[in-house]
Structure 1
Amino acid sequence: MTPDRPRANIDPVSHEPLIPDPELVIRDQDWYGHDLSGRRYAHHSFIDTDWTEVTDEGAVFEHCAFSGVRFNASRHTAAAFTNCTFKRCVFFDTHFTDCKLVGSLFQQCAFTLFRVSRGDWSFVGLPGADLREAVFDGVRMREADLTAARLEKATVTGTDLSGAMLHSSKLTGADLRGSDLSSLDPLTVELAGAKIGLDQAVVIATALGLDVT
């Protein structure tokens, strides 16, 4: 974690009302099953839109706001959602594969059967997120904010968590094997029953001040 980067609140909610550009608002639309492959959106606001079973490959969303969007059973491959905000969105059986979400923030979202495979999620904000049983496999999550996130029984394998904010996160029963845990303070997280490898055990023991020989 960089020393000048502030820690987010557990579930940050902006007190400033959303004032989208009226010409870039997509509201109350039914995009069920749409293929958004190759599309590009910048500074758009998607409000109460149904993205159930949407598919996209290589779509780009930059500085977009998603509010009340339903991403149920949607599939996103090699897409980019950079510096976006997701507020009160529903991610049920949602898969992201090889996607880039650098700098995006999730607020008050629901995650069920949520899966992320590879891709770059560095600097993503997921503070307080309920990610129980979610899957993050081979993901780059450098300096991601997972403050107080619930990751019980989650799979977080082969993931780069260097510099990540993990204070007060719940990792009970999580599979953390192969992930970078160098930023984890074992005194500030719940780790009971978590699965780790021998190299990770050394990292955690060292963090506790133990002399591993």
Structure 2
Amino acid sequence: MAGQSGRSAVPTESTVREWDDPELSGRTQRRVLFIDTDLTEVDNRGGVFEECTFRGVRFNASTHTDAAFVNCTFVRCSLFDTTFTGCKLVGSFFDDCTYNLLKVSGGDWSFTGLPRADLRGAEFHGVKLREADLTGLRAAKAVFRDVDLSGASLARADFTGADLRGSDLSTIDPLTVGLRDARIDLTQAMVVATSLGLDVRP
């Protein structure tokens, strides 16, 4: 299954359609294909997924704490009211998923692919999103507080009315990224002004 940016999922070695055991904590799954699996309200503490593919999986109201989804692919998954705390999603890719009320606190999402994702109203606090693909991201009225966006691809992203205070905006091009009514701090204002070619002086 190729993602929107042409990335293909890693070949899987086993398939799961029904997950009868609600316990994911402390387990490791590698190269597993999850199809239409219901993981609603699952409490995952420390579970590890490596190079897995989730297709049509429902993560609704689930919580993931200190868990890892490394180089995984999420296709048409529902992450309604899903919470990630201190999780590692390095290298994972999301394709045509829904993210209503998604909450992410801490953790490392570097090199993650979220092109054209609809993150309107989602909350990210203290997350590493270094070199993530956020091209065309729709994040109006979202919260991106203290997020490391260094090196991220942000062309055509929309942060209208978003709270961006404390985040790294060094790769944002104000001419191609929607920032109307976004909340930023004074340090970020200097960065944005400099990127517009303004000569900022005291």
Q: Report the TM range for the smaller structure's normalisation.
A: over 0.9
Which of these residues, 59, 62, 68, is aligned with residue 80 of structure 1? 68
Ranges in structure 2 where 5+ consecutive residues have no aligned partner: none
Aligned CA distance change for structure 1 residues 46 and 81 (closer, same or farther; 3 Å): same
**Is contact 2:85–2:105 with CA below 8 Å preserved after alignment?**
yes
What is the identity percentage for the equivalent residue pairs of Structure 1 and Structure 2? Answer: 57
1:140 aligns with 2:133: no
1:143-202 Cα distance to aligned partner (Å, 9 max, x none):
011000100000000010000110000000000000000010111111100000000000
**Is contact 1:31–1:54 with CA below 8 Å preserved after alignment?**
no
1:98 aligns with 2:86: yes
SS at match of 1:200: helix
Which of these residues, 79, 99, 102, is aligned with residue 114 of structure 1? 102
1:114-159 Cα distance to aligned partner (Å, 9 max, x none):
0000000000000000000000000011001100010000000001
The residue that corresponds to 1:26 in the other structure is 16
**Is contact 1:75–1:95 with CA below 8 Å preserved after alignment?**
yes
With normalisation by structure 2, the TM-score equals 0.94
Aligned CA distance change for structure 1 residues 124 and 19 (closer, same or farther; 3 Å): closer
**Is contact 1:13–1:107 with CA below 8 Å preserved after alignment?**
no
Which of these residues, 7, 13, 23, is aligned with residue 35 of structure 1? 23
Deviation at 1:31, TM superposition (A): 4.6
**Counterpart-to-counterpart distance in 1, 2:126 and 2:72:** 22
Q: Which has the higher contact order (CA 8 A, sep 6+)?
A: 1
**Counterpart-to-counterpart distance in 1, 2:10 and 2:31:** 12
Which of these residues, 157, 160, 165, is aligned with residue 172 of structure 1? 160
SS at match of 1:111: coil
- Supply the RMSD in Å over aligned alpha carbons: 1.7
Which of these residues, 38, 46, 59, is aligned with residue 71 of structure 1? 59
The residue that corresponds to 1:123 in the other structure is 111
Count of aligned positions: 199
